[in-house]
Amino acid sequence: AEDKHKALFEEIEARTDAQYIAGGAAQNSMRVAQWLLQRPDATSYIGCIGDDSLGKTMRETCERDGVRTAYMVDPSASTGCCAVLVHDGERSLCASLRAAKSFREEHLKKPEVWELVQSAAIIYNAGFFVTVSPESMNIVAAEADRRGAHYCLNLAAPFVVRPPYKAIISELLPKVDILFGNEKEAQTYAESEGWDAQDLAAIAERLSLEPARSSGKKRRVVITRGVHPTLVAVDGQVEWHPVQPVPREKLVDTNGAGDAYVGGFLAAFSKGLSIGQCCRAGAYAASVIVQHSGCTYPAKPDYAWE
């Protein structure tokens, strides 16, 4: 958000019909994974909030959903928020990061926070975090590599894979076990590498074969394509997996659909299920989210694990 957007946030806050929903890309994914797993404290989230009512709401929402939180609190900044404007089921976003930009790697070193990192079998970063604390991303990726845990990264947005942030992604890639991104993000990455940006299968294949720090691991590359089948490459082998269609009359809000897909995928992955089953869980989660406002869902999932 820029100064010119200040009036937008003020206008939304003045509306009586505005909804306040806990968000943030990685936090959305953890909430969805927790919802699908239905197991207390199956997930944790580390981030930064302000000492204000929005931060209080965010903490309470996550804890109600069963996600353990270990927030850094910056009393000098307001909790970050994202204005989401929905028209006919499609969304426009305007993010004001605020306290989210204050996160520092020193917070990770607190014993109660580092314990969460050390005990995690899967560690997930949204690519947006390259603008905040790339040092923290490198620390948790290195810890995952040291322990043999799975480090997962989402490309998040086209700007993340362009200079100056592209260098950070390139540094992290050898440690990445599961790489997520959508069609546009994958194509932007390919363009930055001088690859054919139109051949998604070839892009996924090449990304899956990029050198890995741990020789025994096979990188999984997951490229979502909206209503079209998801493309997955593992060790150079490419597969297509269907999504779960939602009738247009049931479409409420596409905000959070990609985050939900990741949450469903990782929930299934944590159970040791196949890539096909992971994609099925991701597609289910995304199909539920688009039928609700923001990243929200029913109390219990209507989903049967295979």
| Average pLDDT in the chain | 95
Beta strands 228-234 and 237-241 are antiparallel
| Res. 66: pLDDT tops 90 | yes
Q: What is the DSSP letter of 149?
A: P
| Res. 187: pLDDT tops 70 | yes
* Contact status, residue 93 vs residue 28, Cβ threshold 8 Å: no
As beta bridge partners, residue 69 has: 45
Residue ranges per structural domain of the chain: 20-289
Compute CA distances 285 → 41, 189, 219, 255, whole Å: 19, 26, 23, 13
Q: CA 106, CA 287: separation in Å to the nearest integer?
A: 38
Give pLDDT tens digits for 108-153.
Answer: 999 999 999 999 999 999 999 999 999 999 999 999 999 999 999 9
Q: CA 294, CA 146: separation in Å to the nearest integer?
A: 36
The set of catalytic residues is 259
Torsion of CA 81, 20, 89, 87, to 10 degrees: -70
Q: From its phi and psi, is residue 281 left (phi > 0), alpha (psi between -120 and 50) or beta?
A: alpha
As beta bridge partners, residue 230 has: 241
Average pLDDT of the segment spanning 251-269: 95
| Res. 215: pLDDT tops 70 | no
Q: CA 217, CA 148: separation in Å to the nearest integer?
A: 9
| Res. 76: pLDDT tops 70 | yes
Instruction: Report pLDDT for 145.
Output: 94
Could you give the percent of the chain with pLDDT greater than 90? 87
Residue 86: CB atoms within 10 A of its CB come to: 14
Tokens standing for residue 234:
């593992």
Q: CA 137, CA 65: separation in Å to the nearest integer?
A: 25
CATH number attached to the domain at 20-289 = 3.40.1190.20
* Contact status, residue 202 vs residue 196, Cβ threshold 8 Å: yes
| Res. 15: pLDDT tops 70 | yes
Residue partners of 52: CB distance under 8 A and separation at least 6? 78, 79
Torsion of CA 47, 220, 177, 183, to 10 degrees: -40
Say whether 74 sits in a helix, a strand or coil.
strand
The closest alpha carbon to 151, from 211, 213, 203, 202, belongs to 213
Amino acid present at 206:
R
* Contact status, residue 53 vs residue 28, Cβ threshold 8 Å: no
Instruction: Report pLDDT for 84.
Output: 87
